[in-house]
Amino acid sequence: MKYKAVISDYVWPSLDIEQKLLGSHNVDIVDCNNSTKEELIEEVKDADAIIFCFKEIDAEILEAAKKCKVASRYGIGVDNIDIEKCSQLGIVVTNIPDYCLEEVSDHAISMILSLNRRIVDHWNMVKEGGWNNLNLDIPVLRLSQSTLGIVGFGRIGRTISERISSMGVKCVAYDPILKEGEIINNIEIVSFEKLLEISDFITVHVPLIESTYHLFSKNEFNKMKNNAILVNCARGGLIDESEASIALDKGIIGGIGLDVIEDVSENPTSPLFNNNNVIITPHTAFFSKASSEELQRRTCEEVIRVINNEIPENFINPEVRKNSRSKIN
């Protein structure tokens, strides 16, 4: 029996991995990376699977996909697909939550180290002819005397704590589903308020949901240490960038590193583009050759499991079992 998988978008050079793996299981792929929404809707009408990365998979697209059994996300976050609609229609949603633990952890730590050492600002100063203009009256911290607060102590948060602890940094963590006072992997779980107060560096690793939108805004910046550094490699809406820009200008906080920003348009802007001691990367924290290949392979494997009526490894909407188009148990 032949199946059809529509790939809405991707960011790697080719679909060779998908073609080889899915093809070996009688799944033909349709590349919609450069397609309009209307063209995508037309293609999903007879698709058995949708594989997506950054494109918005909304109710209109899902309702057109009358045969679709599975929507498999290239990546971790699933805030760009209507999960409730998928469950109503019987479509299984999957993701790959742990393919880039090392890469994201290394990216976040690199930002912390670079911002603390003022690497980018010093490089810009040198390029502008300021070799002899070094100002030593800046708050560069010794790592062994600093504290990192980790907001969201899941897979990535725990990997970061393991890696940066080896550099002598003390770590604490906040997670709403963990009990204050617990010790996990030698890391103390503290309240969000305490984390803001005691951390020299803060790194954020939580999903973007209604309760976490602008988790960091004026009130939170005012509770942080004056020279604290904030890093976000999770979702753009977690940080109020306008208030962050003001806080940097006023010296309320010391630096910001972002791999994601609020503006998700084709040519995004941010008020933080004009601030000093800021590093912004274009959502590349996930990337290495190894992580990309693993992501492609495991996303395809989830599709294969579901069309073969098997339970996926990473089941986002298990409530769909009662009416799933795939006869999963």
Of 38, 128, 210, 266, which is the active-site residue? 266
CA distance 142 to 145: 5
- Give the span between the Cα atoms of 75 and 233, in whole angstroms: 13
Tokens of 189: 């779980």
What are the backbone dihedrals phi and psi of residue 58, each rounded to the nearest 5 degrees, phi first? Answer: -95, 180
What residues are paired with 29 via a beta bridge? 5
Dihedrals phi, psi of 223, to nearest 5 degrees: -90, -10
Of 235, 298, 305, 325, the catalytic one is 235
Residues 155, 163, 283, 297: which is the catalytic one? 283
Q: Which residues sit opposite 256 in a β-bridge?
A: 230, 278
Is 231:112 a contact under the CB 8 Å cutoff? yes
Residues near 180 by Cβ (< 8 Å), separated by ≥ 6?
Answer: 189, 190, 191
CA pair distance 237, 232, nearest whole angstrom: 10
Q: Is 321 an active-site residue?
A: no
Strand 187-189, strand 229-232: pairing: unpaired
Residue 60 a catalytic site member: no
Residue 155, both tokens: 């897979």
Burial class (CB in 10 A: 0-12, 13-18, 19+), 323: exposed
Kindly report the backbone phi and psi dihedral angles of residue 160, in degrees, each rounded to the nearest multiple of 5, phi listed first: -60, -45
Of 14, 61, 67, 25, nearest to 40 by C-alpha is 61
Is position 266 annotated as part of the catalytic site? yes
Asked whether the beta carbons of 277 and 43 are under 8 A apart, the reply is no
- What residues are annotated to the active site? 235, 266, 283
